[in-house]
Amino acid sequence: MEFITDQDPYPDLRVNIGSLELQNPVMTASGTFGYAREFENLLNLHRLGGIIVKGISLEPRSGNPPPRIVETACGMLNAIGLQNVGVERFISEKIPYLRGLRVPVVVNILGDSLEEYQEITRRLGGVEGIAAIEVNISCPNVKKGGVAFGTDPQMAAAVTEVVKKTADVPVMVKLSPNVSDIRLLARSVEDGGADSISLINTLIGMAIDVKSRKPVLANVIGGLSGPAIKPVALRMVYQVAQSVEIPVIGIGGIDSTEDALEFILAGASAVQIGTANFVNPRISEEILEGISDYVKNQQLSSIRDLIGALDI
């Protein structure tokens, strides 16, 4: 006769991003999940592995003129222009709600100079309810003629260093895919002291209206996201995971359990769900359930057994 004792119906989905422990590997990507409250009635926020909130700058930004988005084949282009409430209003208006969530909240920060990155990080210091900082390095460096920090290994390392030096929480650096060798950038930010790397940000693209012969986006160019970019993102996550010691978080066109598992197999310790949130606000919870079923069905002792388990 068998006794069923202490059999946990929930498989072990915990993952570690350096010193940060997540109850599961499913997070929501910056800029696709607002400040989380927008989604509170649509899914159980408390079940998520982590929430990355909309990118914050030192001062409020009103963003780009319309049109800001356009659908493309299996994806979309956006040029929102980093519209956000600024760090002060973020702390006074958004943090009180986020603090009440039983989920790690990661604050995405952006700036157009090293000083700005440093100052935002300083302001976020000591604020209760922030589990980590994610650094968006895809922004143009105004002092270097507008070249994006994230396209130059030295500038990427410099931003990482300045944020790491100032931050009192783990630092995750989000890489831009608009480079010729993503491994160089990954090693640079690792050398700069990053605790983890998330990738990829959007791929720069454009769309043209042939009737008017004008660009569809007011900003002319924008960032491509959605299922269209997944193979590129997966390849880059695979390459980066091979190149660095620190944990890697996979982002790019994930809209199903299988997509998320692919990134984990390629070496990602966790994933972020982005554009798919726009189509199905419940998708992150559905993917989480799918991963849970997969781990159970495969009789794995932990999702951690799957990280980087790609069989080549």
Partner 1 sequence: MSQHQEKATIIKIEQFSPNNLRLTLDAPLIAPQCKPGQFVMIQTGIGKDPLLRRPFSLHQASSNGHIQIYFKNVGRGTNIMAHCKLEEKLDVFGPLGKGYDIDIDRPACLIGGGLGIAPLLFLAKRIARTAKDSTQNLIIIGGRSREEVEPLVKDFQQIGMPVHCSTDDGSFGIQGYVTDLFSSQDLPIGSQVYACGPDPMLAVLQRICTNKKVGCQVSVESVMACGMGACLGCNVPSSKGGYVHVCIDGPVFRAEDLVWNL
Q: Which is nearer to partner 1, 81 or 129 (CB)?
A: 81
Minimum separation from the CB atom of position 207 to partner 1 (A): 12
Query: Is 60 exposed, middle or buried, given 0-12, 13-18 or 19+ CB atoms closer than 10 A?
Result: middle
**Phi/psi at 167 (5° precision):** -75, 150
Q: What angle do CA 235, 200, 132 make, to 5 degrees?
A: 130
Minimum separation from the CB atom of position 240 to partner 1 (A): 25
- Binding residues for partner 1 (CB under 8 A): 31-34, 38-39, 41-42, 62-63, 65-71, 73-76, 78, 80, 83, 226-227, 255, 275, 277-282
Q: Which is nearer to partner 1, 208 or 309 (CB)?
A: 208
HSE-up of residue 92 (Cα within 13 Å, Cβ side): 4
Return d(Cα 132, Cα 122) in angstroms, integer: 13
Minimum separation from the CB atom of position 116 to partner 1 (A): 21
Q: 171-174 and 196-199: which strand pairing? A: parallel
Indicate which residue of 139, 155, 158, 200 is catalytic: 139
Q: Which is nearer to partner 1, 16 or 280 (CB)?
A: 280
Minimum separation from the CB atom of position 98 to partner 1 (A): 15
Phi-psi region of 4 (alpha: psi -120 to 50; beta: other; left: phi over 0): beta
Minimum separation from the CB atom of position 78 to partner 1 (A): 6
Residue among 57, 79, 54, 15 at smallest CA distance from 250: 15
Q: Is 74 considered catalytic here?
A: no
Any alpha helices (H) in 71-177, and if so which ranges? 86-89, 95-99, 114-124, 153-166
Q: Which is nearer to partner 1, 165 or 282 (CB)?
A: 282
Q: Which is nearer to partner 1, 21 or 38 (CB)?
A: 38
Query: In degrees to the nearest 10, what's the CA dihedral of 140, 247, 171, 94?
Result: 90
Query: In degrees to the nearest 10, what's the CA dihedral of 81, 180, 200, 119?
Result: -50
CA distances from 32 to 239, 268, 269 (A): 25, 20, 20
Minimum separation from the CB atom of position 36 to partner 1 (A): 10
Q: Which is nearer to partner 1, 93 or 115 (CB)?
A: 93
Residue among 209, 207, 204 at smallest CA distance from 225: 204
Active-site positions read 139
